[in-house]
């Protein structure tokens, strides 16, 4: 390697910057606050409180919550993979009218507040719903909602790689006499495993820390570790037990992430990826058309029915229908400010969160992609941790840790920072594969010709990863639009975000308040779909994607 033989100062400085910025950001806004609250919770009277852990171990209800957290997360992850895989295949391998709209639309559930999805599912799964069976307050309601939320993660992550697999491999297998199923199992599946692992790890994290879905759809007989941390803190102010549970949650998630990164390293298969345009084609024959439209029909019904319930509710006026709820959004209401202002607040916070996530996330991605080894691996795990940490832990952590040197606890900038913590893993996961695929020879050639490293990066890498950055940006924007847990700790009451305004309206009686909440939810869906759609336009022909 040319660079190794001629170590140059610019390169070392560049590497240090790449390490320093994300490390300082995560250190100050994640590790330090979480360590602060755990310290207060677990070190009392000068010693470490082992008794909190024995209390967790001795209480049947807490042991039950831990066991339930694990098994429902495993079940939800497997179910999501199975249910969403056909759609991943169809989106990867076929072109059909309205494809980019469909792709944007499936991301909408991802950002909807759980209290809103709860309204839709409690209607759909009730005795008067289309299924005709009462699934409310059962494990099925929880599992179905988890699949609903995470469908897009599997379609986009697995479909993303599938869209680049060389179809000639499968064609060859078919020609040699293998059936469709055998071809999938022995040719496509092994090549797809890295993407399946990536999707599964994210779905697992999301469902492992499930909160609103479990509370609202599961009723009071189901509880996860996340729910227990919140209950122990809010209802009992039992910080030692909440702290012990938070430690168990962090340890469990770290173990999964380390196992996942080891697995990824062993599984990584070198393969020649093909451009999307060569892989996707219109369906041929009745069988393929049936498959494509059948899968799309199922996706439309499964994801669309709850969304349609919400839109329908937003238009209900007395016994008839109308746009009254939308028209009233500009007036001062039961909330502190006219609900329509929440749209502006959300857009502003989401833009700031996107910018922070993009800057920090891209630097972290560059570090992971260009400097392989143990440090990068641990860094990757650290980046993912905020996704799996309870919002209560982070929220209280901010309160106890961020009061000096500058008191950030009540600063509005804390809202996009908290959102960026959750969005950074998505930016990193989107960009790393593309960065790794930029061929080393191109970069080395640039260096040989005497260009400084920053210039090489700017002129060779940046154009190639630009589209991946946009996809990551879209996810960051959407995540910020939908975040509720940490926001409820830090958003000012006179500057609510959309989810906060929706919650506030739903916490008051009166049909007009309910109608406004549904109207805001519908606008949130529209805003999400529109921003994702805008980003889709930039991602034609790009190799890596979330």
Partner 1 sequence: MTHDSFAVSDEVLEAFEGQTGIRVKLLPAGDAGQMVNQAVLTKDNPLADVIFGVDNTFLSRALEAGVLEPYQSPLLAAVPDDLEYDPRVTPIDFGDVCINWDKAVLAEAALPPPEALLDLTDPVYRGMLVVENPATSSPGLAFLFSTIATFGESGDYTWIDYWEDLRDNDVLVTSGWEEAYYSYYTAASDGDRPIVVSYASSPPFEVIFATEPIDEPPSAVLTEGCFRQIEFAGILAGTTARPAAEQVIDFLLSQQFQDDIPLGMFVFPASTEATLPEAFVEHAILPENPLSLSTDEIEANRQRWIEEWTEVMTG
Query: For binding to partner 1 (CB under 8 A), which residues are involved?
Result: 40, 61, 115, 118-119, 122-123, 126-128, 137, 215-216, 218-221, 227, 231, 233-238, 316-318, 324-325, 332, 334-336, 396, 399-400, 403-404, 407, 409-410, 488-494, 503-504, 506-515
Quick one: 278 or 403, whose CB is closer to partner 1? 403
Per DSSP, the residues of 154-214 read HHHHHHHHHTTS-HHHHHHHHHTT--HHHHIIIIIHHHHHHHHHHHHHHHHHHHHT--HHH
Q: How far is the CB of 98 from partner 1 (least distance, A)?
A: 32
Q: How far is the CB of 20 from partner 1 (least distance, A)?
A: 29
Q: How far is the CB of 112 from partner 1 (least distance, A)?
A: 15
Alpha-carbon distance of 132 to 350, in angstroms, equals 40
Q: How far is the CB of 216 from partner 1 (least distance, A)?
A: 5
Quick one: 336 or 533, whose CB is closer to partner 1? 336
Do 496 and 337 form a contact (C-beta atoms < 8 A)? yes
Q: How far is the CB of 208 from partner 1 (least distance, A)?
A: 19
Q: How far is the CB of 310 from partner 1 (least distance, A)?
A: 12
Alpha-carbon distance of 336 to 507, in angstroms, equals 13
Compute, in degrees rounded to 10, the torsion defined by CA atoms 493, 497, 502, 508. Answer: 0
Report residue 446 as tokens: 């640039």
The SS3 of residue 108 is helix
Do 329 and 338 form a contact (C-beta atoms < 8 A)? yes
Place of tokens 């179910």: 79
Quick one: 176 or 235, whose CB is closer to partner 1? 235
Angle value at C-alpha 453, between 448 and 457, nearest 5 degrees: 105
Quick one: 40 or 139, whose CB is closer to partner 1? 40
Calculate the CA 87 to chain-centre distance.
19
Q: How far is the CB of 504 from partner 1 (least distance, A)?
A: 6
Quick one: 366 or 490, whose CB is closer to partner 1? 490
Q: How far is the CB of 474 from partner 1 (least distance, A)?
A: 28
Q: How far is the CB of 132 from partner 1 (least distance, A)?
A: 14
Quick one: 11 or 508, whose CB is closer to partner 1? 508
Helices 511-536 and 285-314 pack at an angle, to 10 degrees, of 140
The residues, any chain, with a CB within 8 Å of residue 534's CB and separated by 6 or more, are: 474
Alpha-carbon distance of 100 to 275, in angstroms, equals 17
According to DSSP, the β-strands at 316-317 and 47-48 are: unpaired
Quick one: 492 or 537, whose CB is closer to partner 1? 492
Q: How far is the CB of 496 from partner 1 (least distance, A)?
A: 9
Q: Rounded to 5 degrees, what are φ and ψ at 316?
A: -80, 130
Q: Find residue 47's DSSP bridge partners.
A: 44
Q: How far is the CB of 99 from partner 1 (least distance, A)?
A: 35
Place of tokens 């999805």: 117
Place of tokens 């831990």: 66
Alpha-carbon distance of 501 to 337, in angstroms, equals 9
Q: Rounded to 5 degrees, what are φ and ψ at 451?
A: -75, 140
Quick one: 217 or 257, whose CB is closer to partner 1? 217
Q: Rounded to 5 degrees, what are φ and ψ at 44?
A: -120, 150
Alpha-carbon distance of 69 to 214, in angstroms, equals 10
φ/ψ region of 11 (left if φ > 0, alpha if ψ in -120 to 50, else beta) reads: alpha
Quick one: 44 or 137, whose CB is closer to partner 1? 137
Quick one: 176 or 404, whose CB is closer to partner 1? 404
Q: How far is the CB of 214 from partner 1 (least distance, A)?
A: 8
Quick one: 226 or 542, whose CB is closer to partner 1? 226
The residues, any chain, with a CB within 8 Å of residue 447's CB and separated by 6 or more, are: 2, 3, 453, 456
Residue 452 buriedness (CB in 10 A; 0-12 / 13-18 / 19+): middle
Quick one: 351 or 488, whose CB is closer to partner 1? 488
């Amino acid at each position: 390697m040319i660079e190794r033989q001629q170590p140059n100062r610019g390169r070392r400085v560049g590497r240090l910057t790449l390490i320093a910025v994300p490390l300082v950001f995560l250190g100050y806004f994640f590790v330090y606050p979480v360590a602060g609250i755990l310290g207060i919770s677990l070190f009392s009277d000068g010693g470490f409180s082992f008794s909190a852990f024995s209390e967790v171990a001795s209480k049947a209800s807490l042991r039950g919550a831990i066991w339930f957290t694990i098994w429902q997360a495993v079940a939800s992850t497997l179910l999501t993979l199975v249910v969403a895989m056909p759609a991943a295949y169809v989106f990867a391998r076929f072109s059909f009218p309205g494809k980019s709209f469909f792709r944007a639309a499936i991301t909408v559930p991802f950002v909807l507040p759980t209290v809103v999805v709860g309204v839709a599912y409690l209607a759909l799964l009730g005795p008067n719903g289309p299924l005709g069976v009462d699934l409310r307050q059962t494990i099925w309601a929880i599992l179905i909602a988890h699949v609903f939320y995470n469908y897009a993660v599997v379609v986009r992550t697995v479909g993303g790689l599938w869209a680049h697999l060389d179809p000639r491999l499968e064609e060859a297998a078919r020609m040699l006499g293998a059936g469709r199923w055998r071809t999938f199992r022995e040719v496509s599946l092994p090549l797809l495993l890295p993407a399946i692992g990536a999707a599964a790890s994210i779905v697992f994290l999301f469902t492992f820390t499930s909160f609103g879905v479990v509370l609202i759809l599961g009723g009071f007989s189901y509880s996860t570790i996340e729910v227990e941390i919140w209950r122990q803190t809010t209802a009992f102010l039992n910080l030692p037990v909440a702290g012990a549970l938070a430690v168990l949650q962090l340890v469990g998630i770290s173990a999964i992430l380390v196992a996942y990164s080891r697995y990824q390293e062993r599984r990584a298969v070198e393969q020649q990826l093909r451009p999307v345009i060569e892989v996707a084609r219109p369906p041929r024959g009745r069988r393929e058309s049936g498959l494509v439209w059948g899968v799309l029909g199922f996706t439309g019904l499964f994801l669309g029915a709850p969304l349609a319930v919400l839109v329908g509710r937003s238009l209900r006026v007395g016994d008839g229908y109308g746009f009254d709820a939308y028209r009233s959004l500009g007036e001062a209401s039961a909330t502190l400010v006219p609900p329509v202002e929440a749209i502006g607040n959300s857009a502003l916070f989401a833009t700031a969160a996107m910018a922070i996530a993009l800057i920090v996330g891209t630097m972290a991605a560059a570090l992971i992609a260009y400097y392989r080894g143990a440090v990068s691996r641990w860094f990757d795990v650290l980046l993912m941790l905020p996704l799996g940490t309870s919002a209560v832990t982070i929220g209280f952590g901010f309160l106890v840790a961020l009061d000096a040197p500058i008191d950030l606890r009540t600063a509005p900038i804390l809202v996009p920072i908290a959102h960026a913590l959750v969005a950074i893993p998505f930016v990193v996961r989107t960009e790393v594969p593309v960065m790794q695929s930029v061929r080393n020879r191109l970069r080395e050639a640039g260096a040989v010709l005497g260009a400084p490293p920053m210039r090489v990066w700017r002129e060779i890498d940046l154009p190639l990863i630009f589209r991946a950055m946009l996809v990551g940006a879209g996810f960051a924007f959407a995540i910020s639009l939908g975040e509720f847990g940490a926001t409820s700790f830090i958003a000012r009451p006179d500057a609510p975000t959309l989810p906060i305004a929706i919650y506030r309206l739903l916490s008051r009686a009166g049909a007009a308040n309910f109608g406004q909440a549904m109207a805001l939810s519908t606008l949130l869906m529209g805003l999400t779909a529109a921003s994702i759609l805008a980003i889709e336009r930039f991602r034609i022909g790009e190799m890596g994607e979330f």
